[in-house]
Homo-oligomer: A and B are copies of this chain.
Amino acid sequence: MRISRRAEAIQESPIRKLAPLAAAARARGVRIYNLNIGQPDVATPPEFLRAVCAFSDPVLAYGPSDGLPELKAAMAEYFGRYEIPLRGEEILITNGGSEAILFAFNVVADDGEEIIIPEPFYTNYNGYAEMANLKIVPVRTHAEEGFHLPPDEVLEAAVTPRTRAVLICSPNNPTGTVLTWEELERLAAFAARHDLFLIADEVYKEFTYDGRRHRSVLELAGLWDRVIVVDSVSKRFSACGARIGAVISRNREVMAACLKFGQARLCPPTLEQLGAIAAYRLPESYFDGVRAEYEHRRDVLYEALTADPGILLRKPRGAFYMIVKLAGVADADHFTRWLLSDFELGGETVMLAPANGFYATPGAGADEVRIAYVLDADKLRRAAEILLAALARYQGERSTITYGA
């Protein structure tokens, strides 16, 4: 009796795998700044819980497999604000954006087929690729180029007869990069040229800075049938624990298939959908404050980190992550563990996600970490101070290692 190959193969979350070391550090009395996980500290709108508690049915019953019609209507209206017309039947509510990814993967590809994803990419795609037995084919993007799309030749070289889709995430986790409209059009042409689906994870769409506006793949003319959007309220309304996401497509065959997958798991959680309805009805001004806060945090962290010439970092334009290249750190996996096990500054340390888990190419990202700027500006300043001090000490310690010892 053995567990399955896929159960053995699925990676431990690079975002969560350091948790035991963090617990041990906390037990030693060390305070940890958590920059490892995209858990915003922004308050969930009080309207959310209020709507949940207004629930007055005697029975908390199954809802529709595709989600509550009121929620789909509220979402459609919300997308309408961005001039993206959607109908209820083009939206299916899921257990978080995670399940939307699972459904999208299962709909576009069969066992052994391939999905092209620019790397580094959101690491949890790996888990679903493993469950669906798909192969993720990475196309490399680079810190030096702000993690923008590689030229067409690189995309072309990744295509095989088994390629079924290309997946993008913009604004991007883990890089913070926002793809330009020209990049989206280039992807559209690429998808059409090779008859591929275009899956877009747009869960950070409200989080763009420097006056930039996010453009959705749903705006691409003539590509309606190919586009599948992964959506979620987790970051939008700082409601990560709600597990309310959506898969959006104008392709009726895709939506019919998603509904069948949805029926297999009956329905998404009812109470949290009620909260989401209230959140979607918040005025657009709700985001102004949140966006300004994140933009400020990005600026604070960017300035603090780039003060150190050993840190390579292009200013990210969206989401609330950055991938940072660390001089003198050959193995960021070791460095992030060391931060929790062997380092403290005045009883404090920082927790980061090693970036290698965000790459599919073996060895890639070994000298990089992902930082989530989900703490307030004062805490970010202090966290940056700790990180720079740690880096100096780590580099010092490394340089005294006797080779061959």
Residue from B40, B58, B106 within 8 A of A131 (CB atoms): B106
Known: A6-B106, A7-B107. A48 touches B61 (CB 8 A): no
Please state if A269 and B269 are interface contacts (CB–CB under 8 Å). Answer: yes
Known: A7-B257, A261-B10. A42 touches B60 (CB 8 A): no
Please state if B98 and A264 are interface contacts (CB–CB under 8 Å). Answer: yes
What chain B residues lie within 8 Å of A242 (beta carbons)? 60, 269-271
What chain B residues lie within 8 Å of A44 (beta carbons)? 58-60
Please state if B13 and A65 are interface contacts (CB–CB under 8 Å). Answer: yes
When chains A and B are docked, how far (Å) is the Cα of A172 from the Cα of B52?
33
Known: A111-B111, A242-B269. A7 touches B260 (CB 8 A): yes
Counting CB contacts under 8 A, is A187 at the interface? no
Please state if B1 and A60 are interface contacts (CB–CB under 8 Å). Answer: no
When chains A and B are docked, how far (Å) is the Cα of A110 from the Cα of B8?
11
Q: How many residues of A contact B (CB 8 A)?
A: 80
When chains A and B are docked, how far (Å) is the Cα of A65 from the Cα of B44?
20
Q: Mark A161-205, 1 if CB is under 8 A from B, else 0.
A: 000100000000000000000000000000000011100000000
Residue from B3, B108, B113, B257 within 8 A of A108 (CB atoms): B3
What chain B residues lie within 8 Å of A164 (beta carbons)? 4
> Least Cβ distance of A66 to chain B in Å?
10
User: Using a CB-CB cutoff of 8 Å, which residues 115-155 of chain A contact chain B?
Assistant: 124, 126-128, 130-133
Question: Could you say how many copies of this chain the assembly holds?
Answer: 2
Please state if B241 and A61 are interface contacts (CB–CB under 8 Å). Answer: yes
What chain B residues lie within 8 Å of A128 (beta carbons)? 264
When chains A and B are docked, how far (Å) is the Cα of A253 from the Cα of B7?
9
> Least Cβ distance of A52 to chain B in Å?
6
Please state if A59 and B40 are interface contacts (CB–CB under 8 Å). Answer: yes
Across the two chains, which residue of chain B brings its CB closest to A49? B55
Please state if A269 and B266 are interface contacts (CB–CB under 8 Å). Answer: no
Between-chain CB contacts (< 8 Å), 6 pairs: A4-B110, A7-B260, A60-B238, A60-B275, A127-B261, A243-B268
Residues of A within 8 A of B (CB): 1, 3-8, 10-13, 15-16, 37, 39-44, 48-49, 52-53, 55, 58-63, 65, 95-96, 98-99, 102, 106-111, 113, 124, 126-128, 130-133, 164, 195-197, 225-226, 238-243, 253-254, 257, 260-261, 263-272, 275
